[in-house]
Amino acid sequence: MKQRKPKIIKDKKKRGEWAESVFMARASEHGLPVSRPWGEMSSYDFVIGKTGRFVSVQVKSTISKLKTGYVCTVRGGHKAYRAGSFDFLAAYVVCEDTWYLIPAALIQGKEVVTLYPNSKTAKYETYREAWHLLREAAAVSADVQSADAPADGPPVTTHPTTHPTGALARFESAANYFKRYLERSDVHPQKGNDEI
C-alpha cells in the first residue's frame, strides 16, 4: 500500500493544535498515560505518567525543510525556554511522520534544532521515536493492559510493539482497539427490566 502524504495545514496555530492531537494519540498507542493541563499558561503541553511521577512535554512540529533536514523552532514566544520549563521536547517532523523525544537539558538555551530523519548519525537521531525515554522518566510499566483482558480474570498484558506507520494504519489500529474494548462484557452495563 502506498504511504499517504499528510496534507500540510498552513496556519501555524492550527498545525500546532493538530500536532498536539497526533502526539496524544501516539503516546497512547505506546501505552503512556497522557494528560493535558488546563489552559494555555503552562510552559508545557502535556504530562506523561501517573500520580506521584509525572514528566512534562512541550510539543513542537516542523515542515521547514532544508536541503537534508528540518528546522524546528523550540522557543516560547520570541525567546528560548527557561531551564525547567519542561522535561522533554516532542518534535514532530510532519512530512516524515517522525517524532523526536529529546530531553530538555540537551536543547536548553536553543531557539531551534535541526533534525535529520534520513541520517543515522545526526545529533538527535538517537532520540527519534524514543518513546521509551518518556516511559523510563515517568516510571511507567512497559506492560500495556490489553483490551482483550477478561472481565473476571487477571488482566492480560502485552508488550507494546512498533506502532503502525501512516495515518490509515494508525486509524485502523485504534479502531480495532476500541472495537475489542467495547466488546468486553464489563464495559456494557447490565440491562435492567426498566429499559426499553
C-alpha cell at 130: 524514543
Closest alpha carbon to 66 in 16, 109, 100, 112: 112
Question: Is the distance from CB of 99 to CB of 69 less than 8 angstroms?
Answer: no
Q: In this prediction, what percent of the chain has a pLDDT beyond 90? A: 42
Q: Is the pLDDT of residue 56 over 90?
A: yes
Beta bridge partners of 34: 48
pLDDT band for position 153 (cuts 50, 70, 90): very low
pLDDT at position 16: 87
DSSP code of residue 90 = E
Domains in the chain and their CATH numbers? 12-141 (3.40.1350.10), 143-186 (no CATH)
- The radius of gyration of the chain from alpha carbons, rounded to an integer in Å, stands at 19
Number of Cα atoms under 13 Å in the Cβ half of residue 62: 24
State the sign of the Cα–Cα–Cα–Cα dihedral 105, 111, 115, 120: negative
Residues 63-81 have pLDDT tens digits of 999 888 999 999 887 888 8
3-state secondary structure of 39: coil
Query: 10 Å Cβ neighbour count for 73?
Result: 15
pLDDT at position 76: 81
